[in-house]
Each structure stands twice: as structure tokens, then as C-alpha cells.
Amino acid sequence: MFPTERPRRLRRTPALRRLVAETNLAPDDFVAPLFVAEGLGEAREISSLPGQFQHTVDSLRQEVKELVRVGVGGVILFGVPSTKDELGSGAWDPQGIAQLAIRALRDEFGDALVVMADLCLDEYTRHGHCGVLRTDGTVDNDATLELYGRVAVAQAEAGASVVAPSGMMDGQVGAIRGALDEAGFDETIIMAYAAKFASGLYGPFRDAVGVEIIEGGDRKGYQQDYRNRREALREARADVEQGADIVMVKPAMSYLDVVSDLRRELDVPLCAYHVSGEYAMVKAAAANGWIDGPAVALEQLTAVRRAGADFVLTYFAGELATELAR
């Protein structure tokens, strides 16, 4: 007679559970989104993102030093300018806040840290959209691509290892790859926001960067419809064909099926963005004593890795890297 199967034998002790775990998290699986703002005298906490700040260049440098110390794999920078215009020209200004911050980090950390730069115009435009607006208020896709190329070159010149186009314009990866190669930055990596959904989970982020859409409706005309799954794979394939080195799914937790689909179908590195609303919900519930915040965060980010992501962009990066070291 065969012995009774008892899978729980393998769960009996913490050491056994660690030994047979199928998915593990490590600090270098995390990329920390960070905000750097023009015109600040000191770092300012973002009320809807507890524990996150709009940084000065100096406070950013100190924050990143701590992230490096605890083993976080990389950072992605979002600039918050003091002035905006119709085209978002601050996004490609060599003296723009994002470029100044990138240079500061490269000077201090060199290749010991992966420095990524979000590539979009919405933080820099008066109207809050990710591209150039036509007179009827709609986004002009092709006119926007030329500006994305300028931004990519400015970020690469400043020292970004990775540029991350997030505007969801058709053809953006190809345009950016062409601009980078022409300017001699053929080693600069493109991480495409390949499956970026029109989500209700971005509110705290928009507070952090001071973005408000004041004309032209919303972004549902260019971000993906959350009801569609196959569309994400088409978008990601197109980005890879145009030269994307890494593809991203955003948000993370509501789109684990999409993460799994892309992992199965594509052979490039894959990441997911655990976005501001996902972070803020965990923080709010923990503050009310309803959940164990770090435990839930670890569970969620492990789920993202289990679904197939190679790494995760998360506001929990520093906190969980410290937790994992205990």
C-alpha cells in the first residue's frame, strides 16, 4: 500500500519552506520610483503616498545612497518642473530637473546602480497630456514621436542607462530607438510601458507629479482598455519588434493574467509596475490596523514575480529590501 501523500510535510518548518519555495524576492528584484522637483528647499512628503517624497537633487542623492546600501536593484526618476508649456519642453532641456538628477546619480554611483528615466511629456505640459495636442484637443501621435526622440537623447546624454517611454503613442519605441542610435547611444536600453492600462489606480502618482488634465478629455484614447487582454500582447509584440529591450505591464496586481501572458509569449525581460494606488491602499489599510502592511506587500510582490515578472517597480522597494534583510 502506498503511503498517504502529505504535501504539508514540506511546510513544517521555516527552513523547509525556504528550501522548496518556487518564487523568492530579493532586494535586487526591486526598482524604486523616485520624484525630483524643481524649486524645493528640502524634500516634501507626498500626502497620498506616505513615506514617499518630492526630492531635491541633494535629498534624492541621500535617498538613493540608502537604497543602494540595502541592495535595491535600480531607480526610475520622474521630474517635477516648476514651469510647464504646451509642448513640455522641460522634458528635453539639458538643464531640466530630471537631467540634473540623472547626472548627479551617475556621478555618484556610476554603474553600481541602474538609473532609469521615465520618458513622457505629461509632467511638463500645461494641459497634462502625454503628447502634443491638436486644435481639437486630441493628441497628435506623430508630432509627439519627434519630441520623444529629443527627450530620449537628453536623458541618455545625462547618463540614464534605461529610458522608459510611458506615453503609449503608436510607434514610440521605433522612433526612440532611431533617435538614440543616430545620436550614438546605441547601448541605451529601452524599457517600454508596453501594456499600460487606463486605470483608476494612478491618482496618488498624479498628485506626486502635479499633473492634471485640463483639456482634451482623458487618456483612454491612448492608454489600453482594462477590459482587453489580447490587445496587450499585440502592443508588447510591436514594441519588441521596434527595439524594446524590456517590456512592462502597468498596473501590476489587477493584470497578473497579462503578466503571465507576456511571460509565456515573449523572451525579453519583463517587469510590472506596482503603482501608486496599489501602494497607497496597502498603506491606508495598515494605518487603520486592518492588515499587516509589510506582510501584504511581500505577498503582492511575490505574486507579481510568480506570474512571471523578472523585476518589479514598487514604492515599497526600500522598505521591503530592509525587511528581507532581517
Helices assigned H by DSSP within the chain: 14-20, 57-69, 97-109, 141-158, 172-182, 203-209, 230-242, 256-265, 276-287, 293-307, 317-324
pTM of the model: 0.94
Distance (Å, whole) CA 194 – CA 245: 11
Question: Can you list the residues of the chain whose pLDDT is less than 70?
Answer: 1-4, 213-219
Q: Exposed (0-12), middle (13-18) or buried (19+): which is 246, by Cβ within 10 Å?
A: buried
Specify whether 196 is catalytic: yes
Name residue 197's beta-bridge partners. 224
Question: What single letter denotes the amino acid at residue 97?
Answer: I
Q: What is the pLDDT of residue 215?
A: 57
Give the position of cell 531607480: 75
Q: What is the pLDDT of residue 242?
A: 97
Question: What single letter denotes the amino acid at residue 225?
Answer: D
Distance (Å, whole) CA 33 – CA 323: 18
Q: What is the pLDDT of residue 210?
A: 80
User: Pick the catalytic residue: 84, 196, 220, 283?
Assistant: 196
Distance (Å, whole) CA 291 – CA 112: 36
C-alpha cell at 133: 495636442
Every domain of the chain and the residues it spans: 23-324
Q: Which CATH number describes the domain made up of 23-324?
A: 3.20.20.70
User: Pick the catalytic residue: 65, 84, 220, 250?
Assistant: 250
Q: What is the pLDDT of residue 170?
A: 92
What integer best gives the mean pLDDT of the chain? 93
